């Protein structure tokens, strides 16, 4: 960070604030949940600023710095060799294009890792718009990414208007999500893309509003996920199918027809999802199912080696087969959601994360005790959205906990699952009070697939 940041960044902050205030002014009367817009945005921007400070003065470098310096290399190349710049921006990471860089432009980081270098391709024009200011680039990217998580919050507020305060806590006020889900990092982009996918899927297939427009946003979100962390789709798509299938079944008013259609719909949809994921795997090469299993084993064993400085945990050995990995599911899910524990923390960053995890554990245990555990599966059927967010949070936590036995990486990689998991607990508690709480009016639910559409 330099003097340029002190000039440009405050100006962009002012512009962002004025835009936010105008958004609130336009919407607050008809949409009361917009009272959270400015506080949530400011917290996310503060998280982005924190990433800049931590990486600049505590870590002394890291991914966010490397992305920024490579953005500068690309902008220098834009002046020296516009054709090479445009070619790289289009995804051509050839040796010829690499040799277009020199001492004057600077040498790029991550050039031979297409997934990681995509972040540079995605942010280089933002960096240009920010006049090459590191802080301003961070603020602009964080502002753009905020649109995703805000729309996810908006979706929940539309469906459950009495729970806006709880959703605001789950979406915006979790420290690790506000921090690691901001700044010039992969995780900021992928978290926003996951939220955009969820909201656009909801608008396209559930609400059926502005279908073409929202479908285009859904495809764009999927493209971003495929370009950076393709494996996220393996956690997203099955839950999205269940969401759509249960909603479709809920729209069938005749119970007999519904029971006849249900197995065929679920079976056909499951086969379709399997074929889609298989096709995606073939197109993505190293991200097909077999390669993912093998890479998970290699990554897990590599990260627990001694050179990681002891900042690791070991869930035990497993091989590249589905049964072997499923045997590790309980400890992997717990690790993906709740670790590091307090006694596993070795530095201030880990201590802060462990304190948050402790609160999350306590909250989860309280909810499970209230639900008496056995009601969880019954409650999951109360709304297809609940099935979607719970299945995604568990599947994603499982994949991260299985393949990331390094606490430094884990606290970053796990953040997409946290808002979804906490929100699912909030909705389970909501439905438990509505249907099963002894103090509430007892309501007999004969239909196994009650959904909000039917209630409306």
DSSP string, 153-190: HHHHHHH-GGGHHHHHHHHH--HHHHHHTSSSSHHHHH
Split at pLDDT 50, 70, 90, the class of 151 is: very high
For residue 122, pLDDT over 70 is answered with yes
Among 87-96, 108-117, 231-240, 258-267, the minimum mean pLDDT is found in: 258-267
Q: How far apart are CA 407 and CA 312, in angstroms?
A: 6
Average pLDDT, stretch 80-101?
A: 92
Q: What is the reported pLDDT for 436?
A: 66
Question: What residue segments make up the domains of the chain, in order of their start?
Answer: 3-153+167-180, 287-455
For the segment 119-133, the average pLDDT, to the nearest whole number, is: 94
Q: Is residue 339 predicted with pLDDT exceeding 60?
A: yes
447 falls in which pLDDT band (50, 70, 90)?
Answer: very low
Q: Return the pLDDT at 287.
A: 47
Confidence of residue 454 (pLDDT cuts 50, 70, 90): very low
Tell me, what's the pLDDT at 441? 41
More confident residue, 80 or 274: 80
Share of the chain above pLDDT 70, in %: 77
The closest of 143, 157, 164 to 48, measured between CA atoms, is 143
With pLDDT > 90 as the criterion, what percentage of the chain qualifies? Answer: 47
For the segment 301-314, the average pLDDT, to the nearest whole number, is 54
| C-beta of residue 421 within 8 angstroms of C-beta of residue 397 | yes
Rg (CA), the chain: 23
Overall average pLDDT of the 280-296 stretch: 52
Q: What is this structure's pTM?
A: 0.87
Question: Is pLDDT at 421 greater than 90 in this prediction?
Answer: yes
349, 418 contact by CB (below 8 A): no
């Amino acid at each position: 960070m330099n003097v340029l940041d002190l000039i440009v960044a405050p100006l962009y902050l002012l512009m962002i604030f004025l835009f936010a205030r105008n958004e609130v002014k336009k919407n607050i009367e008809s949409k009361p949940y917009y009272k959270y817009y400015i506080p949530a945005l400011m917290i996310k921007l503060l998280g982005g600023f924190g990433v800049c400070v931590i990486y600049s003065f505590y870590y002394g470098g890291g991914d966010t710095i490397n992305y920024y310096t490579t953005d500068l290399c690309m902008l220098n190349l834009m002046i020296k060799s516009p054709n090479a710049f445009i070619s790289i921006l289009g995804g051509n990471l050839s040796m010829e294009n690499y040799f277009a860089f020199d001492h004057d432009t600077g040498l790029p980081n991550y050039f031979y890792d297409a997934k990681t270098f995509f972040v540079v391709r995605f942010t280089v024009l933002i960096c240009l718009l920010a006049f090459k200011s590191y802080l301003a680039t961070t603020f602009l990217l964080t502002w753009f990414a905020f649109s995703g998580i805000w729309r996810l919050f908006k979706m929940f507020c539309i469906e459950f208007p009495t729970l806006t305060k709880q959703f605001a806590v789950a979406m915006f006020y979790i420290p690790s999500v506000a921090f690691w889900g901001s700044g010039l990092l992969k995780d900021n982009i992928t978290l926003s893309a996951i939220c955009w996918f969820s909201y656009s899927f909801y608008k396209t297939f559930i609400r059926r509003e502005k279908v073409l427009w929202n479908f285009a946003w859904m495809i764009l979100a999927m493209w971003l996920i495929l370009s950076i962390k393709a494996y996220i789709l393996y956690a997203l798509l099955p839950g999205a199918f269940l969401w759509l299938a249960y909603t479709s079944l809920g729209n069938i008013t005749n119970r007999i027809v519904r029971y006849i259609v249900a197995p065929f719909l679920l079976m056909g949809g499951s086969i379709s999802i399997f074929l889609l994921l298989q096709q995606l795997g073939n197109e993505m090469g190293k991200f097909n199912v077999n390669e993912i299993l093998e890479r998970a084993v290699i990554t897990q064993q590599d990260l627990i080696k001694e050179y990681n400085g002891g900042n690791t945990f070991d869930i035990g050995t497993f091989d590249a087969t589905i049964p072997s990995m499923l045997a590790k599911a309980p400890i992997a899910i717990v690790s993906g959601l709740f670790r590091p524990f307090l006694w596993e923390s070795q530095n201030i960053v880990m201590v802060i994360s462990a304190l948050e995890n402790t609160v999350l554990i306590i909250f989860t245990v309280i909810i499970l005790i209230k639900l008496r555990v056995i009601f969880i599966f019954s409650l999951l059927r109360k709304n297809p959205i609940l099935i979607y967010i719970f299945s995604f949070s568990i599947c994603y936590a499982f994949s991260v906990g299985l393949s990331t036995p390094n606490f430094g990486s884990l606290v970053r990689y796990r953040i997409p699952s946290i808002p979804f998991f906490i929100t699912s607990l909030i909705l389970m508690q909501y439905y438990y009070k509505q249907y099963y709480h002894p103090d509430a009016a007892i309501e007999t639910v004969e239909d196994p697939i009650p959904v909000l559409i039917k209630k409306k």
